[in-house]
Every structure is written in C-alpha cells, then in structure tokens.
Structure 1
C-alpha cells in the first residue's frame, strides 16, 4: 500500500468516526465530544474518560487507545483489523465507547 492509498483509507475511517460521534449525539441521550487535530481524534465522554484514534502513517496503521488498552490496526483489503487478532477497529471502538459511556454505542454501518 502506498502512503497515498493509506491516507485515503484512513481519512475515510476518521470521517466515519466523526460522523458516528455526531449521530450518537443526535440520536441518543449520550453526550460525547470529539475533537480532531490532524490525524488524531479524541473522543471525550461525560465522565471525562477519553478514547484516542491516531494515524501512524510510517507504519500504515491506525492506533486506538482506550481504558481497556491500546490496539494497532492495519487495513486487510476490507476492514481495519487488529494486528494481534483482537478484531475489527469499529467493533472494538463501539465496545470501548460503550464501556466508557456506560450505555450501548455503535460506530460503523
């Protein structure tokens, strides 16, 4: 994968995460704040806990840091999957966000 291809795929994912935050705020009682600075999104919950999603361009990876731990994801041609076999990024983001918000939240299609 070229750097350009990585950035196209990564930007699509970051936009999807931002849209997911907006949808959650519009459709639920949960109040989450998301702030994007360059290739990093910080999601902050009412309890002040955070999840950080960050691009690692030299490695062609996306990193997710949450209370539950940190994960590294690579694109497998269809999805962003954990490099240690712990699943798909949006599913893990949904699970971590649900744990930190105290209610079920869903990112992705």
Structure 2
C-alpha cells in the first residue's frame, strides 16, 4: 500500500495526462476537474467521470461502457477485474463517445 501522498501524486499526474491528451486531440470534448473528479462532456450529451477513491486507493471510471475500478499495480493503473490498463481503456472509451480517434500516448 502506498502513502496517501504518493497516491494523490499519481492521481494528479494521471488526471493531468488525461486533460492534456483531450486538449491535444482537437476533439470537441469539454472537461472539468473539481475535488479530484475529472468529468469529460461529449457533444452527444454523454459523460465520462474519473473519480479519485482515496480510501481504496483506486481510480473509478464511469463511462457509457460501464463502471470500472483501477488500482496502481506493476507501474500502471490496472482494472481490478481483468488487469487491463487505464490509459488504453480510456482512450478506447473516449474515442467511442467522441466519435473520433483520441490518442492518449
């Protein structure tokens, strides 16, 4: 288990990376971060919400594809169900909801 400071630093870095990827993509996606929650708003009215869960040391994602929990393991945010990584999964969900490819690399 990492310290709360380490967890918060990783979350902040991850949210900043996601915001930058959205900004760089040129896609028509609005985003706002407030109280550790990053909300992505899409032109069709759908949303993706990425939420810091400090007690569990997880990032929770709510997307049209469903709800997912990610925990920091082996140097990446990994889905607690299937071990898939946050960034590639999020890129797929954002691209689907945006109706255009959005690259997070």
Which TM-score tier does this pair reach, normalised by the shorter chain? over 0.9
Deviation for aligned residue 1:77: 3.5
Deviation for aligned residue 1:38: 1.6
Scaled by the length of structure 2, the TM-score of the pair is 0.94
Q: How many residues align?
A: 104
Matches within 5 A, 1:11-22: 11-22=12-23
Tell me, which stretches of 5 or more residues in structure 2 are unaligned?
Answer: none
Matches within 5 A, 1:27-38: 30-38=27-35
After TM superposition, where is structure 1 displaced by more than 4 Å over at least 4 residues in a row? Answer: none
Scaled by the length of structure 1, the TM-score of the pair is 0.90
Partner of 2:61: 64
Give the alignment's Cα RMSD to 1 decimal: 1.0
Greater share of residues in helix: 1
SS in 2 for 1:4: helix
Structure 1 86/103 Cα, relative in aligned 2: closer, same or farther at 3 Å? farther
SS in 2 for 1:48: coil
Tell me, which stretches of 5 or more residues in structure 1 are unaligned?
Answer: none
